[in-house]
Structure formats: structure tokens, C-alpha cells
Amino acid sequence: MFNKILIANRGEIAVRIIRASKLLGIKTVAVYSEVDKNSLHTELADEKICIGPSNPKESYLDMNKIITAALVTNSDAIHPGFGFLSENSKFVNLCKSNNIKFIGPNSSIIDAMGNKSKARETMINARVSVVPGSQNPIYDSEEGKKIANEIGYPVIVKASSGGGGKGMRIVEDEIKFTRLFNLAQNESLNAFNDNTMYIEKYIKNPKHIEVQILGDKYGNVIHLGERDCSIQRMHQKMIEEAPSAFLNEETRQKLGQCAVKAAKAVNYENAGTIEFLVDENSNFYFIEMNTRIQVEHPVTEMVTGIDLIKEQIRIAMGEKLSLSQEEVRIKGHSIECRINAENPANNFMPSPGKITALHLPGGYGVRVDTALYNGYKIPPNYDSMIAKVIVHGSNRKEAIEKMKVALEELVVGGIKTNANFQYSIMNNKTYIEGNANTGFIAELLE
């Protein structure tokens, strides 16, 4: 049993972890940068400690400062949330060397699955279907061009250490390859300090489907159904739902079994997500594994009734999974809209600033994950997501109607948000009919 958990994150996910820890009777420590001094997570935690200035490299990404904060507060464990250090194997090893439990998989799993080139190789060996692509890491544009010509255009160039849409470019023909490859590689160097690239066949406008898995140290692995994350802008997810309206039952079963097989191939422990692209003929291909909790985990919680953060903590404490695959039940339909501080009318430019009015929606089957409060000043230094509105209905139609009501009720004064843009999607015929794919937002904006 942990006595105290340090949360190496900020914003709504830090608040979410604090609440789950309290339900388990575990004390919490909030770390914060100077600009986050008055953030909600610092008020809800039992203790708080400043770890540096607003620049993430000098605070939330500074491994030594996080470890020092854990040691001086006598924390037993660290929960990384998502982003920042959540998929950093060096940080996992640093936790281990200081006798602090990292709430997530071990460093070898993160290395095997966090690097996209290694993950592809692992999945091929496990006989999991992958998108046709390069077999080895690529560092040079000319080498990459030869492989792209063999695969056939269009292709997508990706950073091996990438995430969140960073270090990715779609290349339609050979003429544009060198320029776009170099752009993606430079972006990868700036974001991840890694120039390792790989190339895949680009499957145009597929469905982006991911499967939530849980594994314990005793070799038990289960899946908790899928999430449809096809509504994206610039490779960033905007709307997620569970279950997918596109999949038939046969494909759904195969996806779940494939995800479990993929997780068992690396002896996976803790919460993770296996991500697939699904084409119009329901053929699916592994693209990557996220070795952490996802932003969109609430929709899975809503349809299964399982608290994923509590499960993460219990697994890290050495407990067995609290349920078997046969006990997992998917009930109803859930949708999540990410509310970002940005202005859709001005090319989605970030809109930080002070919250001058705030009303969060409520009611049966409505949940809001956020760290907002009236008077809070949103800093410009971090991701623009400020809240997640999640609804649950008996079916997809009811969930869509419930989301419309929730978005109508949401008031965030003083800044611009994408709430109205999300509302327009809820009223879009293509979305309502379940036919939206990864190219939906681009087509909508055009």
C-alpha cells in the first residue's frame, strides 16, 4: 500500500489523479511551476512543492527536480499522468534507483513500445498486422526516398519518438519528399531530441481506433473495449467515443484479441493503449502503443464503470487485476469533447488569459474533467486543453443529444474556446451518421 503519491503533472489530469488517490486513502503531493502556483491541483493535494519556472524543461520535464521533490516529501510513488515524463524510460529507471515506484510500465516496455520502429518490429514478430513501412530506422532523406518509392505514395514520415502529431508529414509524391522529410526530422529533433525517423504507407482517411488494455505483474492482460478517435485536427484528437459506431461485432472482437496479444508480446504491466488504423473494408493495422493513461480514458470509464486511475495505482502496488475479461461489460455509449483555449475563427490560435465567468454543465450522465475555476489565469506555456466534457447515454443518439445540451450549458468567459466548433460537429450529418474519418475536420474546414 502506498502512503503518498507525487503527481508529476499539472492541470485536469493532476486533479483526476488526486481524486482517485483520495478514494484509495493515499495522500498526494502536487508539484508546480512558478506560473502554476495558484492552479487547482496545488490546492487539492495534501502537499505542494514548487519545482521551477514556467518553461517545462526547467520544471515538469526536469527529472532530477521531480525525484528530489519525491524524496523530500517521502513519497512512495510517482504518477506521471500523460505527456511530460510519462513515457520516458530514463525517468522510470531514475525512480527505480531511488526506491520510488513509477506508476506505469517498466523502462524496457517503454523502450520496446515507445519507439515506433522497435514497436513495429515487435508487433511483426508477434504476428500482429502492421501498416506496410520501413523495417529499420531512417536518418537520411535520400535513404527515406528510396523506401518511399518502394512502398508507393502517398506515405507518412514519422518521428520514432513522436507523439501528439509532432514530427509527422504526409508526402504525396517524390518531388516533395526531401523537403517534408527534413521538416519532420527537424521537428523531431526540437521536440524529442531524436532524429530517428520511419516511413509508412499512408492510408487515406481511415478510422483511428484504439483499444484500452490493463495488465498486471502476474501475466494477466485484459482489454476494456475500443475508442473511436477519428475526429482529429493536425493529428490531434478532438472528439473520442466508446464504443465505435463503425465496427461490426466480428471486427470488434478481433481488435480486442489482437490488442491483448500485442500487450502480452511485451509482458505489459499497467494501463496502456493499442492504436490501430481501420480502412473502409474493416482491415485494421497496428500503428503504435501508448504506454500510459490517455487523455480520452474517461469514455472507457463511462461505458465500463471501471476507474482506470485506481486500477493503475493498484497494479503498481502489486495487486492482481480486479476483474477478468469475462467480467468486462460495455454499457451504453460515451462521447468526450476536448475543450481547448483556442480560437477556431483565427486558425485555432491559442487563447490564454483570465477566466472571468465559468459555468460547467451537469446532470445525469454528464462529467467534466477540468482544473478551471472562476478567476483562474490560463498560462500560455502549456497545452491549450482546459477541460473535457464527457457524456454517457443508453445509445449513441442519446449521447450526441446529451453532449449538445452540455455544450450549450458550458460557459467559459474571458477567453476563446472551441466549444462552439465542437457543437457544430455534434450537428453535422456525417458525424451523426457515424461516417466521419481522420480527414473529417480538414474537409469540414474547407
Which are the catalytic amino acids?
292
Q: Please state, in angstroms and rounded to a whole number, the distance separating the CA atoms of residues 132 and 134.
A: 7
Asked whether the CA dihedral 50, 52, 57, 63 is positive or negative, the reply is negative
Q: DSSP label at 321? A: P
Q: What are the Cα distances from residue 190, in Å, to 166, 260, 290?
A: 10, 34, 21
Q: Please state, in angstroms and rounded to a whole number, the distance separating the CA atoms of residues 302 and 365.
A: 8
Nearby residues of 106 by Cβ (< 8 Å), 6 or more positions away = 92, 269
Whether the CB-CB separation of 358 and 411 falls below 8 Å is answered with yes
Q: Please state, in angstroms and rounded to a whole number, the distance separating the CA atoms of residues 338 and 194.
A: 29
CB atoms within 10 A of CB 201: 16
Q: What are the Cα distances from residue 193, in Å, to 87, 162, 235?
A: 14, 10, 20
Q: Please state, in angstroms and rounded to a whole number, the distance separating the CA atoms of residues 125 and 107.
A: 20
Q: Cell numbers of 256, please?
A: 480486442
- Specify the residue for cell string 489565469: 377
Whether the CB-CB separation of 26 and 4 falls below 8 Å is answered with yes
Q: What are the Cα distances from residue 61, in Å, to 66, 176, 410?
A: 8, 35, 32
Q: Is 429 left (phi over 0), alpha (psi -120 to 50) or beta?
A: alpha
Q: From edge to edge, which strands make up the β-sheet containing 207-215?
A: 284-290, 270-278, 207-215, 221-233, 236-242, 333-340, 385-393, 366-370
At 270 the three-state DSSP class reads strand
Whether the CB-CB separation of 349 and 386 falls below 8 Å is answered with no
Helices and strands in the chain, H and E counts: 15, 22
Q: Cell numbers of 444, please?
A: 469540414
Q: Please state, in angstroms and rounded to a whole number, the distance separating the CA atoms of residues 400 and 392.
A: 9
